[in-house]
A and B are shown apart, each in its own frame.
Chain A
């Protein structure tokens, strides 16, 4: 009941990492480092595709956090104020996109055919694209994008945490214009980023909707992670009253909406390529349908990334059920990994489905790093933007049925 929501206890405590989470982060990091070191020496051709997949997955989560924060500022949203710290925490991975990207450069010759002079010499189509696809420009773009993202993260999140101390309302207005700038920059830079990292794995192929396809996955998975964070922090009990089932409900609605958005974009890409039937475009889907494993995964994406989450998030009661939302969010995160895997791996190992310890180990390593970044942010700052002028609106937030 709304009026009851107005009177419940408000409490926000300093975040302390629960012991089992600490252990988890340590174990994940050690597994990641060991896998990285061993496969660096023994099988670099296995290492780099796994690295790229996991790197892209967590870059998406980091950027998705900043994108969510930015759209809340731009929409002057009040309801999400009390969960904004959660999305801001995700942005603390953004500096690691730059570091991870630099490490990725070491594996370029294993990953990108256009970085191989022999391929350029033998393939005129690839040769014609080298004015864009060359190592120097690639690195330049990477530095530009990561620099821009870091700058916007630094300013937007910086203003938000500064407000915790000063309580200055002008900072909220500043974040509005910064967020508009970020969204413009993000639209262009993330499109190019996904083209550089994933589309250029097959330099003869192109799809003009590719950037938005990657964005759809980025935002869907970021919302799933935010739903998990809301439930996690609620269960640890550091925050009471500020974040309620109403916020969980609205994030779940967002999640359902962008589940549909992903399907819409994925189908738009597939249908146009299938209908036009031009060899240089159909190549991509042929690679993902000839081998039984890839065909199964292609249909798996349709079923478990769209149909199942869509139906599972349709009833109101299920969106407000914590255990149910945990299950759906985990499914969506797994499918986001498999989606990136599906984009990366058919280009390697002669199109054979290859999955094993290396992929899992590298993913664990990145997961450890990501969780560590999020937890460090929570330890450093208040879990709630306590002096935000719109916080009152979030506390009284109530979803009408």
Chain B
């Protein structure tokens, strides 16, 4: 997933947030599967409009948390009760109550760091040469991009649909 082959395609540029969501919904209803929406900030409802499934990151976080918890339990048990048993205040060598803060912290540490790692992986970050459709897409404009390998790709039809949905500009993109 880290290396994605880049395709050219066709893009519609919008200046209105509501219109770009409508356009994404329209493009999806026309049967396109691989299209993408680009916006300077998250838009409520865009995930559903594009049909993007839920992110797998929460599952990664949960797994990493479970691992961190087990590791913390093993670490405290092995260091305090097996490898170097020390009598602390007459408490048992294996005192779970005293170990819970460490287990808790390791759970959080593993869950948090792994989530950041997973985010970088799934978002293909860092990207040193990002393709540019329009420089204003990081500032004031929105775009819908349909790659040329998508089902039923037809530039003339796309240009017409984008115009109908209120695009201010449509253009052919060499690669994205």
Which A residues contact B (CB, under 8 angstroms)? Answer: 1-3, 267, 270-271, 274-275, 277, 314, 316, 396, 398, 400-401
Q: Of all chain B residues, which has the CB nearest A277?
A: B89
List residues 61-104 of chain B with CB under 8 A from any CB of chain A. 62, 89, 97-98, 100-101
Which residues of A lie under 8 Å from residue B45 when comparing CB positions?
A: 1-3, 398
The interface stretch among B47-55, B110-118, B130-138, B155-163 is B47-55
List 9 extra interface pairs beyond A275-B97, A400-B42, CB under 8 A.
A267-B100, A271-B98, A275-B89, A275-B98, A314-B62, A316-B54, A398-B45, A400-B47, A401-B47
Q: Is the CB of B97 within 8 A of A274?
A: yes
- Residue from B21, B89, B98, B100 within 8 A of A3 (CB atoms): B21
B54 x A401 contact (CB < 8 A): yes
C-alpha gap A353/B8 in the complex (Å): 74
* In the complex, residue of chain B having the shortest beta-carbon distance to the beta carbon of A276: B89
Q: Which residues of A contact B97 (CB under 8 A)?
A: 270-271, 274-275
Contact in complex: A1, B48 (CB < 8 Å): yes
Contact of A400 among B25, B44, B98, B100 (CB under 8 A): B44
Which residues of chain B come closer than 8 Å to A277, judged between CB atoms?
Answer: 89
Specify which chain B residues have a CB less than 8 angstroms from the CB of A316 in the assembled complex.
54
Number of A-B contacts (CB under 8 A): 34
Given contacts A3-B21, A3-B25, contact A271 B100 (CB under 8 A): yes
Chain B minimum-CB-distance residue to A2: B45
Contact with A along B7-50 (1 / 0, CB 8 A): 00000000000000110010000000000000000101101110
Query: How far does the Cβ of A278 sit from chain B's closest Cβ, in whole Å?
Result: 12
Nearest-Cβ distance from residue B141 to partner chain A, whole angstroms: 20
Docked CA distance A221–B31 (Å): 47
Contact of A398 among B44, B55, B62 (CB under 8 A): B44
Shortest Cβ gap from B110 to chain A (Å) = 17
Q: Which residues of B contact A314 (CB under 8 A)?
A: 62
8 of the cross-chain contacts (CB-CB < 8 Å) are: A1-B49, A2-B48, A3-B45, A271-B98, A275-B97, A275-B98, A314-B62, A400-B42
CB proximity of A4 to chain B, nearest CB, Å: 9
- Give complex CA distance A271, B100 in Å: 9
A2 and B42 alpha carbons, distance in the complex (Å): 13
Task: Enumerate the 4 nearest inter-chain pairs by beta-carbon distance, A residue then B residue, closest first.
Answer: A2-B45, A1-B48, A398-B44, A2-B44
CA A9 to CA B89, docked complex, whole Å = 66
Given A271-B97, A274-B97, A401-B54, do A3 and B22 touch, yes or no (CB 8 Å)? yes
Residue of A271, A316, A400 ringed by the most chain B CB atoms within 10 A = A400
Distance of A3 Cα from B25 Cα, bound (Å): 10
Bound complex: CA A271 to CA B98 (Å): 7
Name the A residues within 8 Å of B54 (CB-CB): 316, 401
A2 to B22, CA, bound (A): 11
For residue B101, which residue of chain A has the nearest CB? A271
With the chains together, A401 CA to B25 CA distance in Å? Answer: 18
Q: In this complex, what residue of A is CB-closest to B54? A: A401
Closest to A314 in B: B62
Min CB distance A206 to B, Å, is 20
CB-CB nearest in chain A for B90: A277
Q: Report B123 CB to chain A, min CB distance, Å.
A: 16
A41-B90 Cα distance, complex, nearest whole Å: 51
Compute how far the CA of A271 lies from the CA of B62 in the bound complex, rounded to whole angstroms.
Answer: 26
Residues of A within 8 A of B44 (CB): 2, 396, 398, 400
Q: How far is the CA of A398 from the CA of B44 in the complex (A)?
A: 7
Indicate whether A3 sits within 8 Å of B49 (C-beta atoms), given known contacts A271-B100, A401-B54.
yes
Kindly state the separation between the CA atoms of A46 and B171 in the bound complex, as whole angstroms: 81
CB B47 to nearest CB in A, in angstroms, measures 7
Closest to A275 in B: B98
CB distance from B71 to the nearest CB of A (A): 20
In Å, the complex CA distance between A316 and B21 comes to 24
How distant is A102 from chain B, measured CB to nearest CB, in Å?
41
A-chain residues with CB within 8 Å of residue B22 when the two chains form the complex: 3
